[in-house]
């Protein structure tokens, strides 16, 4: 929906040029409007910016770079609900100021409840509902919100600022605490624009990124810059800048509390998904669904079509064949069956290469692929769309990854884990030794992420040994007691595959082109519903997502229901093997990485060579993106 930024300084006031630069760095997140609020003499003062609407410029003076303040909030607006200036932010009410990024899907029912207690509203926006909810219920109002959000609330009477992030971490929020300043922003590139911030590499953050294939909260690859963890509130005292971090929601775990049979569970999930989808297509701008023709996205499209007959779908086509990464024939079949308009983006090798460096560098951390969401968001922005419904999250909630089927094989090998220490340290046996050494479900999950293995990092990263690498990872794999290993995979999938990987990359890629992604499968009430079901309903050991497939059977053609999982991705490995321009690009980045002094050149060459031999380049891309990230930010 938007981008937020801000800072508090404990000592002397600083120039507003800092917040102006920070807000400019995230202009892509909100090209429709801009606003600022500065604290002066213990009261809020509103200002317009260079990109504010004409109406806002007529209401508020322009914020000048030389203006001094100890506290400032900045905002970039992507107008989706209440497109009028009444939805302008930062929004004020008495001694409270809010900046809000995201969507509250139950804002209408909350608004009705607040109105019943005598509270009046000025706008039709969900932002004002959150603001008035805070004034009514305090910060505990967060538990009432159904949606995705990153929020900054300044309360002058309380003398505190609250930074809040949604339960699954769908909306990003980063902060840095440096001496006499606390700085926050929707993207790290905004924080880096503050004059008191110096970008430095966090080796611990980089090692975690390499293993999880993306950074995991609260860590980032920048020293001193943190991701606010999902489902957490950071409270900041205005006078001392002392902070406290509190968790307001946890990923639900067993024991199962459901007494109905599996068919009853399927019916209840179907009804819940329908209700969620109806809420998530609310917008005052055009909404479109992503639809591959497979189970997850097609079911959401079918449910959306029941609530909005004019809904459209989007499909990415590689070559139109339905083979490899291409899913066009399957998606076209479902579009015809549902009688909906289908937007098809035919993507070529040239499209993949275009802006490759810019797209990789826009992501504020190394990543092991070229993200197709950039291409999709750019295309849909050109078609006039601002909101996309995505099928992401279904695999994590309903057990959609193949490693759920591989879990029994690993469990059979666990009694033989002692053999890992008996096998010789031979390159040919390295992968087998690693697999045998996986002692618990956390380590098994880490082996499935597609990140670099610890033994690879032991060779690759200078001044690091295997023990120190494992010590860094260990706290992130600590967990409550699981009822079964399947529940452990579900927990780690939601904790890391969702928040650290899918939704973060979706957000930063889609918002680059001012497009918002929404996720019906990541509704926290649905997650809580599924968590109460017996594991035998959720996993059968024969095929993935048994529950969701039963729901989808009433909407999707049988052939589509049986489609093998492909994922939403570009054919980057094929292009790398056939395109000289991309090969030269990769070689240039690998050569740069060898000059940094952080990595062993021979280990770099080994990773690249083994990737070519296996036609599997995710580790190569991790190194390439690391080189680009270092050149861009350090």
CA 236 to chain CA mean position, Å: 24
Contacts with 508 (C-beta within 8 Å, 6 or more apart), sequence order: 172, 187, 362, 363, 364
Q: What per-residue confidence (pLDDT) applies to 566? A: 67
- Residue 615 confidence (pLDDT): 82
Residues 6 or more apart whose CB falls under 8 angstroms from that of 54 comprise: none
Residues 195 and 321 in one domain: no
Round to whole Å and give the CA distance between 250 and 503.
18
Q: Which residues pair with 8 in a beta bridge?
A: 71, 182
Residues 193 and 271 in one domain: no
Q: Quickly state the pLDDT bin for 123 (edges 50, 70, 90).
A: very high
Q: Which of 298, 302, 278, 281 is nearest to 290 (CA)?
A: 298
Answer yes or no: do 207 and 269 share one domain: no
Measured over all CA atoms, what is the biggest interatomic distance in the chain, rounded to whole angstroms? 76
* pLDDT for the residue 415: 86
Residues 40 and 55: beta-carbon distance below 8 Å: no
pLDDT tens digit string along 55-103? Answer: 999 999 999 999 999 999 999 999 998 889 999 999 999 999 999 999 9
Of 247, 282, 298, the one marking the end of a domain is: 247
Which residues are CB-contacts of 443 (< 8 A; sequence separation ≥ 6)? 437, 477
Using 50, 70 and 90 to split pLDDT, how confident is the model at 242?
A: very high
The pTM (predicted TM-score) of the whole model is 0.96
211, part of any domain: yes
Residue 322: the pLDDT is: 67
**How far, in Å, CA of 87 to CA of 283, rounded?**
13
Position 173 in a domain: yes
Within a 10 A sphere around the Cβ of 608, how many other Cβ atoms? 18
The two counts, helices (H) then strands (E), for the chain are: 28, 20
**pLDDT score of 567:** 67
Cα–Cα dist 333/483, whole Å: 41
Cα–Cα distance, 305 to 278 (Å, whole number): 9
Report yes or no: 82 and 1 within 8 Å, Cβ to Cβ: no
Across residues 469-480, what is the average pLDDT?
A: 88
Expressed as residue numbers, the domain containing 213 is 2-247
DSSP secondary structure string for all residues of 38-61: EEETTEEEEEE-TTS-HHHHHHSP
- Do 521 and 577 fall within a single domain? no
Q: Are residues 212 and 301 in the same domain?
A: no
Q: According to the model, what pLDDT value does residue 181 have? A: 97
pLDDT at 431 over 90: no
Answer whether residue 337 shows pLDDT above 70: yes
- Look at residue 245 and give its three-state secondary structure: strand
Residue 146 in tokens: 């159904």
Counted domains in the chain = 3
**pLDDT value, residue 326:** 79
Same domain for 148 and 237, yes or no, is yes
Q: Measured in whole angstroms, how far is the alpha carbon of residue 36 from the centre of its chain?
A: 26
If asked whether residues 632 and 599 sit together in one domain, one would say yes
Q: What is the pLDDT of residue 439?
A: 87
Under 8 Å CB-to-CB from 452, ≥6 apart: which residues?
Answer: 210, 211, 460, 607, 619, 622
C-alpha distances in Å from residue 173, one per residue of 14, 30, 178:
22, 15, 17
Confidence of residue 470 (pLDDT cuts 50, 70, 90): confident
pLDDT at 568 (0 to 100): 66
- What would you report as the CA-atom Rg of the chain, rounded to the nearest whole angstrom? 24
Are 346 and 331 spatial neighbours (Cβ–Cβ below 8 Å)?
no
Instruction: Kindly report, residue by residue over 546-564, the tens digit of the pLDDT.
Output: 999 999 999 998 888 887 7
493 located within any domain: no
Task: For residues 559 and 580, state if they share a domain.
Answer: no
What is the rounded average pLDDT of the residues 131-145?
98
* CATH number of the domain to which 200 belongs: 3.60.20.10
Claim to verify: residue 134 and residue 199 sit in the same structural domain:
yes
Same domain, 564 and 598: no
Alpha helix segments (H runs only) across 218-327: 262-280, 295-307
Q: Both 606 and 516 in a single domain?
A: no
**Residue 342 and residue 602 in contact, taking contact as beta carbons nearer than 8 Å:** no
Whole-angstrom distance, CA of residue 547 vs CA of residue 535: 11
Q: What is the mean pLDDT of the chain?
A: 93
Give the separation between CA 330 and CA 322, rounded to whole angstroms: 7
CB 380 within 8 A of CB 288: yes
Q: Would you place residue 495 in the very low, low, confident or very high pLDDT band (cuts 50, 70, 90)?
A: very high
Residue 551 lies in a domain: yes
Per-residue confidence (pLDDT) for residue 436, from 0 to 100: 87
User: In terms of domains, do 15 and 95 share one?
Assistant: yes
What is the rounded distance in angstroms from the CA atom of residue 314 to the CA atom of residue 5? Answer: 32
Find the DSSP H helices in 363-440. 373-382, 394-398, 403-413, 430-436
3-state SS class at 557 = coil
Whether 224 is covered by a domain: the verdict is yes
Choosing from 525, 551, 570, the residue where a domain stops is 570
**% the chain with pLDDT above 90:** 79
Q: What is the CATH number of the domain that holds 319?
A: 3.40.50.620
Give the Cα separation of 126 and 526 in Å (integer): 21
Residues in the chain: 634
Q: Is residue 463 part of a domain?
A: no
Q: Each residue of 501-512: pLDDT tens digit?
A: 889 999 999 999
For the cut 90, the answer to whether the pLDDT of residue 518 exceeds it is yes
Read off the pLDDT of residues 248-293 as tens digits, 9 standing for 90 and up.
Answer: 999 999 888 899 999 999 999 999 999 999 999 999 999 999 998 8
pLDDT greater than 90 at residue 218:
yes
Cα 200 to chain centroid distance, Å, stands at 23
Tokens of 471: 């010590």
**Helix (H, G, I), strand (E, B), or coil: what is residue 252?**
coil
Q: What's residue 632's pLDDT?
A: 97
Is 555 within the bounds of a domain? yes
Residue 584 pLDDT greater than 90, yes or no: yes
What's the order of all strands across the beta sheet hosting 91-93? 91-93, 96-104, 147-155, 160-165, 232-237, 243-247
Tell me: the pLDDT tens digits for 343-385? 999 988 888 888 888 999 999 999 988 888 999 999 999 999 9
Is residue 484, in this structure, part of any structural domain at all? no
Residue 584's SS3 state is: helix
């Amino acid at each position: 929906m938007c981008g937020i930024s801000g800072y508090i300084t404990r000592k002397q006031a600083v120039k507003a040029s800092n917040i102006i630069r920070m807000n400019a760095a995230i202009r892509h997140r909100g090209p429709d409007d801009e606003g600022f609020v500065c604290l002066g003499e213990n009261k809020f003062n509103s200002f317009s910016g260079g990109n504010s609407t004409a109406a806002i410029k007529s209401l508020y003076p322009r914020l000048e770079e030389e203006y001094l303040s100890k506290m400032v909030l900045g905002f970039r607006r992507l107008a989706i609900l209440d497109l009028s200036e009444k939805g302008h932010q930062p929004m004020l009410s008495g001694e409270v100021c809010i900046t809000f990024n995201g969507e509250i899907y139950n804002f209408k029912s909350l608004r009705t409840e607040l109105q019943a207690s005598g509270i009046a509203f000025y706008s039709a926006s969900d932002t004002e509902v959150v603001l008035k909810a805070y004034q009514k219920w305090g910060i505990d109002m967060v538990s009432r919100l159904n949606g995705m959000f990153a929020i900054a609330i300044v309360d002058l009477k309380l003398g505190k600022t609250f930074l809040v992030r949604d339960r699954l971490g769908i909306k990003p929020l980063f902060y840095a605490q440096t001496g006499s300043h606390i700085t926050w922003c929707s993207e790290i590139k905004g924080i880096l624009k503050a004059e008191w911030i110096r970008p430095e590499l966090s080796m611990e953050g980089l090692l975690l990124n390499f293993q999880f294939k993306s950074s995991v909260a609260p860590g980032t690859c920048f020293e001193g810059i943190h991701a606010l963890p999902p489902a957490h509130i950071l409270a900041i005292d205005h006078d001392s800048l002392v902070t406290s971090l509190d968790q307001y929601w946890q990923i639900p775990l067993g024991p199962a509390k459901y007494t109905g049979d599996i068919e009853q569970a399927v019916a209840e999930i179907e009804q819940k998904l329908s209700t969620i989808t109806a809420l998530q297509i609310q917008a005052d701008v055009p909404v479109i669904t992503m639809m591959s023709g497979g189970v997850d996205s097609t079911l959401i499209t079918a449910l959306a079509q029941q609530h909005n007959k004019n809904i459209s779908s989007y499909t990415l086509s590689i070559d139109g064949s339905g083979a490899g990464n291409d899913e066009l024939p399957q998606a076209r079949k479902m579009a015809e069956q549902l009688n909906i308009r289908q937007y098809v983006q035919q993507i070529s090798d040239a499209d993949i290469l275009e802006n490759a460096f810019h797209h990789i560098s826009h992501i504020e951390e190394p990543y092991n692929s070229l993200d197709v969401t950039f291409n999709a968001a750019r295309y849909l922005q050109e078609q006039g769309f601002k909101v996309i419904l995505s099928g992401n999250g279904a695999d994590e909630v309903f057990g959609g990854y193949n490693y759920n089927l591989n879990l029994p094989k690993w469990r059979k090998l666990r009694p033989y884990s002692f053999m890992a220490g008996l096998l010789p340290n031979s390159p040919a046996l390295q992968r087998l030794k690693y697999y045998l050494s996986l002692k618990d479900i956390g380590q098994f999950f880490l082996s499935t992420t597609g990140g670099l293995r610890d033994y690879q990092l032991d060779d690759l990263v200078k001044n690091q040994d295997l023990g120190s690498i494992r010590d860094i990872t260990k706290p992130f794999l600590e967990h409550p007691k699981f009822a079964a290993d399947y529940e452990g995979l579900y927990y780690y999938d939601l904790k890391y595959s969702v928040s650290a990987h899918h939704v973060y990359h979706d957000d930063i890629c889609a918002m680059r082109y001012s497009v918002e992604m929404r996720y019906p499968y990541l509704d926290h009430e649905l997650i809580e519903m599924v968590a109460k079901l017996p594991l035998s309903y959720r996993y059968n050991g024969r095929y993935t997502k048994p529950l969701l497939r039963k729901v989808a059977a009433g909407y999707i053609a049988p052939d589509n229901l049986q489609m093998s999982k492909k994922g939403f991705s570009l054919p980057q490995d094929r292009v790398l093997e056939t395109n000289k321009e991309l090969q030269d690009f990769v070689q240039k980045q690998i050569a740069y990485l060898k000059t940094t002094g952080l990595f062993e050149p021979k280990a770099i060459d080994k990773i690249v060579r083994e990737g070519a031999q296996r036609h599997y380049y995710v580790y190569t891309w991790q190194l390439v993106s690391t080189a680009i990230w270092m050149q861009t930010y350090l």
